[in-house]
Structure 1
Amino acid sequence: MKHKTIAVIGLGQFGGTVAKMLASMDHEVLGVDIDPEVVQKISPFITHAIVADTTDEEAIKALALSQFDMVIVAIGGNLQANLMTAMLLKELDAPKIVAKAENNIQGKMLHKIGVDQVIYPEYDMALRLVQFLTRDHVMDYLQLSKNISLIEIKMPSFMVGTCLKDSNLREKYNLNAVGIRRGEDLEVPPNPITILGEDDKLLVIGNNSDLDALTV
């Protein structure tokens, strides 16, 4: 894995967790927050931590963020600070900007500014929770687009003792298996002649309506 230089602006619950996780994966992480106490608490866990007001043009210029591979704007409740920071980063030619949004309106504004990717942590977590609560066999869930999702499920009973080649998953449900999890091991792409066990997990991609038919 190529190690990257990543700046995380806003070190609250979400931003702080992201920064620590990136640092644990040996990426070079710069954490930035306006609160000195927050910066002091996170400094032992990441590469660098700096107190700065990223809505101030001179302050954000001094961080030289255009030299980083990616900048994540994780500022929470302060909408103005979130948008202003993203706008200044765009003007400073940051190579990749990922910004957190709390609702669709904020997301649309960030897109208009020109950020490369908008994320909705609260919405995504709520969506995953709904999938767990309403689909008995779903172990994990990732929405790839409005209509397409990737899910990890317990091995369907009709596939146990067969192999993917003979399971007719695509013919029956119009779905594609992209991986098999066996204990701690993940086989991607899966061997089409591997005999599937009751304790195996299946990674499947397809239309949400077809996934619903498989997991009811």
Structure 2
Amino acid sequence: MKKQFAVIGLGRFGGSICKSLMNEGMDVLAIDQDEEKVNEFASIATQAVIADSTDEKALKSLGIRNFDHVVVAIGDNIQASILTTLILDEMKVKHITVKAQNDYHETVLNRIGAHEIVHPERDMGIRIAHNVVSDNVLDYLELSDEHSIVELAAGPTIDGKTIVDLDVRSTYGCNILAIKRNEELTVSPEPEVKLYEGDILIIIGADADISRLESYWIDEN
């Protein structure tokens, strides 16, 4: 059974989520006060409506409490974001994800019932910073304050060596989740698999361990 999502706020962030969910085959209710934005998503979302999310009656009339997941993607209006989240929590919505503008906003959202809080601009900034600092880091995903998943380009120092030879887990405390090679993806590779220069290694571990691993046997600089 398909999950039902509601996305409140159809700016760049909310609009992107709405389109991505639809591409995944989900049912999506798109909500915004701006008629022009709602008209834009009328042919994209399952349903698009003009509504004020700070109006509890309006949300009730949309049956918002019956949705599996509601994303509050309101842009610069922190007051509207907070009030909307509060109303959703009081209505016992199953899962509420909210876009935060800053740390203060996040603190308030945590106290009033948001289940998940995202900082798209900050998170993208961190991701880009990691990518530009090292030529070997191709992509970066922060899992927590101390753990991440990264894509690392394998250099010549590990060419022809197996995962067993490198002893990644016990030496560096990291795990190789997958290997990309010539557009082919090998998930949970066997310890005897050889690695070659140009392979893309998908690594999970603590940030400090990943940095140490990169410095010792991937980063040639």
Alignment of 1:12-31 (within 5 A): 12-31=11-30
* Counterparts of 1:205 and 1:141, CA distance in 2: 10
Question: After superposition, what is the alpha-carbon deviation per residue over 1:74-129, rounded to whole angstroms, capped at 9, x for unaligned?
Answer: 00100111001111111111110000001111011111011110000000000001
* Counterparts of 1:66 and 1:157, CA distance in 2: 55
Q: Which residue pairs with 2:191 in the alignment?
A: 192
Q: Which runs of 4+ in 1 moved over 6 A?
A: none
Q: Which residue pairs with 1:144 in the alignment?
A: 143
* Counterparts of 1:65 and 1:208, CA distance in 2: 39
| Cα pair 2:155 2:198 within 8 Å, conserved | no
User: SS of 1:45's equivalent?
Assistant: coil
Matched residue type, 2:120: P
* Counterparts of 2:184 and 2:7, CA distance in 1: 32
Alignment of 1:86-101 (within 5 A): 86-101=85-100
Sort the Cα spacing of 1:40 and 1:123 in 2 relative to 1 into closer, same or farther, 3 A. same
Residue 212, structure 1, aligned to residue 194, structure 2? no
Count the aligned residue pairs. Answer: 215
Deviation at 1:164, TM superposition (A): 1.2
Q: Which stretch of structure 1 is more off in the superposition, 24-33 or 192-201?
A: 192-201
Q: Which residue pairs with 1:67 in the alignment?
A: 66
* Counterparts of 1:188 and 1:3, CA distance in 2: 27
Alignment of 1:99-118 (within 5 A): 99-118=98-117
Q: Which residue pairs with 1:167 in the alignment?
A: 166
- TM-score, reference length from structure 1: 0.94
| Cα pair 2:9 2:75 within 8 Å, conserved | yes
| Cα pair 1:136 1:215 within 8 Å, conserved | no
* Counterparts of 1:72 and 1:209, CA distance in 2: 33
| Backbone CA RMSD of aligned residues | 1.4
* Counterparts of 1:139 and 1:145, CA distance in 2: 19
* Counterparts of 2:172 and 2:158, CA distance in 1: 13
Q: Which residue pairs with 1:135 in the alignment?
A: 134
| Cα pair 2:156 2:196 within 8 Å, conserved | no
Question: After superposition, what is the alpha-carbon deviation per residue over 1:137-177, rounded to whole angstroms, capped at 9, x for unaligned?
Answer: 00110111111111111024333212212222234423221
* Counterparts of 1:100 and 1:160, CA distance in 2: 43
Q: Which residue pairs with 2:55 in the alignment?
A: 56
* Counterparts of 1:212 and 1:20, CA distance in 2: 35
Q: Which stretch of structure 1 is more off in the superposition, 204-213 or 137-146?
A: 204-213
* Counterparts of 2:117 and 2:4, CA distance in 1: 19
Q: Which residue pairs with 2:42 in the alignment?
A: 43
* Counterparts of 1:78 and 1:183, CA distance in 2: 46
Question: After superposition, what is the alpha-carbon deviation per residue over 1:20-41, rounded to whole angstroms, capped at 9, x for unaligned?
Answer: 1110111111100010100001
Q: Which stretch of structure 1 is more off in the superposition, 181-190 or 71-80?
A: 181-190
| Cα pair 2:18 2:28 within 8 Å, conserved | yes
Q: Which residue pairs with 1:32 in the alignment?
A: 31
Question: After superposition, what is the alpha-carbon deviation per residue over 1:151-207, rounded to whole angstroms, capped at 9, x for unaligned?
Answer: 111024333212212222234423221111223333222222222222321011122
Q: Unaligned stretches of 5+ in structure 1? A: none
Q: Unaligned stretches of 5+ in structure 2? A: 216-221
User: SS of 1:193's equivalent?
Assistant: coil
Matched residue type, 2:207: N
